[in-house]
Structure 1
């Protein structure tokens, strides 16, 4: 619990899948193009660039899943933050974006922790409210404002060839690892995920911990929205929809128990990389979309079955 980077079985399995995906992709490009595209530093750095947005979103999602909850408001939290940042512009737009994330997380946390509404239901409702508010704000059309300079800096620009979005992902990762391994909040999150009632009886202020976790999740979502808006050079409606299920899948593929109380952050990073690389390889192979979804789902189900089998044997 205290060492999120320990190489446990799910992490090792995930690393094995990454190697397998790269090997299959390399064999395909060698056979069709005569080059090992998937092993080139340029390609790998590009995948990190694209994967950073999913990685940041999944990092926040892990915080609530560790508690045994889930946040379905992530798509429109991400989109709302980016859309408001472009509409307002400048530093004030970025501050508004961060404020939206914290406010949404606070509302979600209060609804789940104090009102005791199931997180799946409450956050889905909040997501719908955000959707409606953004449609009202834009009149049902995409915002006309382009990404701000700060968004372009975070999402598109590079320093010494390294995308800034990857650097942002690294800073977010370091912050969450510190929380999970070096603070009482991290210990409380694992304790609540294992048994909330026991944690409460031992003196943990469980409601405040739940609120904090949802605020971290929403904050990560709007940070990803700022960077993604810069990468796309604009903010648009439903820009966060493509990150909900993959962010949950990345957390679960990384070995975090969907019921809470178990998981390491390194696994979430590996899960995000698996999803990004798998999508890239299937795209390069030019498979039909239906076939891609079949393979994508089969890989996820297969890994989960391997994980569950390993846990039963260990037990």
Structure 2
């Protein structure tokens, strides 16, 4: 890369969106205080650990979504990639000890394959990400309905899946939280310390400039979608382990929350700017918001309306900010 291009790729890393992160954490504190008015357990250590455990599933999925949004793209295949990962991992357990041992990687591999296909469509065929990922979501839905005959899957989660989602390993901390921490640490390292991460930011700012600087933009976009699919499927594997089995449409509840968590944390939905700590804050904020809305008995359609309004508001905010640069 030229010196000018290298400087361009570093700019988004230095411009850390501290204000959105601070606002997100302030909102987390506010939600906890509001929740404590309904129940004193909202501030108990047990409740906070449980909420972090629930947030970890969304956190793994949102990590992949953040990669895609940093590119200035969107991944609408999340719902049924999550479900496919859960179903395929559970299906592998029916093949004896070897199937149980390979259940988790098999589920992740299925998600990576679907993400790879979407990435090829976006990077090489130049199909808009919204179209190709929506098509992949429908294809995955059709395949899973055909596999199950339209009924709830009979396969159960493997012991390893249950242990990852519900077990504890270190000082009573749920394994699901540790898994999210490990995924997050890898994401931070990749985005801040590798050429891959700098190129992701550069492509999100201006793909043509990144290409002219020597970045293999097509392969990077394809790889980002594959990683997003793998992480979505991994989230499904964890959800299946948490519930004991996979279920039809279990990923439907994670599309808008994943997008909302990423943009709430300050990642520009137009690409090129973002900080993983903001995504962590956004995930916790969305999880607490879901909990409080449940306590307040807000219907599911009301929650979806709230997520949609958040996404539109952040799009307007970051759209103006980017236009002024």
When normalised by structure 2's length, the TM-score is 0.88
Q: Where do residues 194-209 of structure 1 align in structure 2 (5 Å cutoff)?
A: 194-209=205-220
Report if aligned partners of 1:63, 1:213 keep a CA contact under 8 Å in 2.
yes
Counterpart-to-counterpart distance in 1, 2:37 and 2:295: 12
Q: Distance in 1 between the 2:132 and 2:120 partners?
A: 10
In structure 2, distance between residues paired with 1:291 and 1:126: 27
CA displacement at 1:219 relative to structure 2 = 1.1
Per-residue CA deviations over 1:75-118 (Å, capped at 9, x if unaligned) read 11111111011111102222321221221121111110000000
Equivalence for 1:170: 181
Q: Is the partner of 1:2 in helix, strand or coil?
A: helix
When residues 69 and 103 of structure 1 are mapped into structure 2, their CA distance, relative to the original with a 3 A threshold, is same
Q: Secondary structure at the match of 2:13?
A: coil
Structure 1: stretches of 5+ with no match in the other structure: 30-35
User: RMSD of aligned C-alpha atoms?
Assistant: 2.3
Q: What is the CA-CA distance between 1:17 and the residue it aligns to?
A: 0.7
Question: Would you say how many aligned residue pairs link Structure 1 and Structure 2?
Answer: 307
Cα gap change, 1:309 to 1:136, in 2 (>3 Å)? closer
Alpha-carbon distance in 2 for matches of 1:81, 1:13 = 34
Say yes or no: does 1:66 pair with 2:76: no
Map of 2:58 onto structure 1: 54
Match of 2:153 among 131, 134, 143: 143
Shift of 1:15: 0.9
Q: Is the counterpart of residue 15 in structure 1 residue 25 in structure 2? A: yes
Which of 180-189 and 17-26 deviates more? 17-26
Q: CA deviation at 1:303?
A: 6.7
1:246 aligns with 2:257: yes
| 1:232 has 2:232 as partner | no
Q: Name the SS of the counterpart of 2:113 in structure 1.
A: helix
The residue number in structure 2 matching 1:32 is: none
Query: Does structure 1 residue 219 correspond to structure 2 residue 223?
Result: no
Which residue pairs with 1:283 in the alignment? 294
Structure 2 counterpart of 1:118, from 123, 128, 152: 128
Mapped to 2, the partners of 1:239 and 1:222 lie a distance apart of 11
Q: CA deviation at 1:145?
A: 1.1
Conserved? CA contact 1:3–1:264, under 8 Å = no
Runs of 5+ consecutive residues of structure 2 not aligned to the other structure: 1-11, 94-99
Q: CA deviation at 1:243?
A: 0.4
CA–CA distance in structure 2, aligned partners of residues 235 and 206 of structure 1: 36
Q: 1:72 to 1:286 in 2, by over 3 A?
A: closer
Instruction: Report matched runs for 1:254-293 at 5 Å.
Output: 254-287=265-298
* Secondary structure class of the residue paired with 1:116: coil
CA distance in 2, matches of 1:309, 1:106: 29
Q: How big is each residue's C-alpha offset from its partner over 1:118-159, in whole Å with a ceiling of 9 and x where there is no partner?
A: 000001101111111111111111110111111101111123
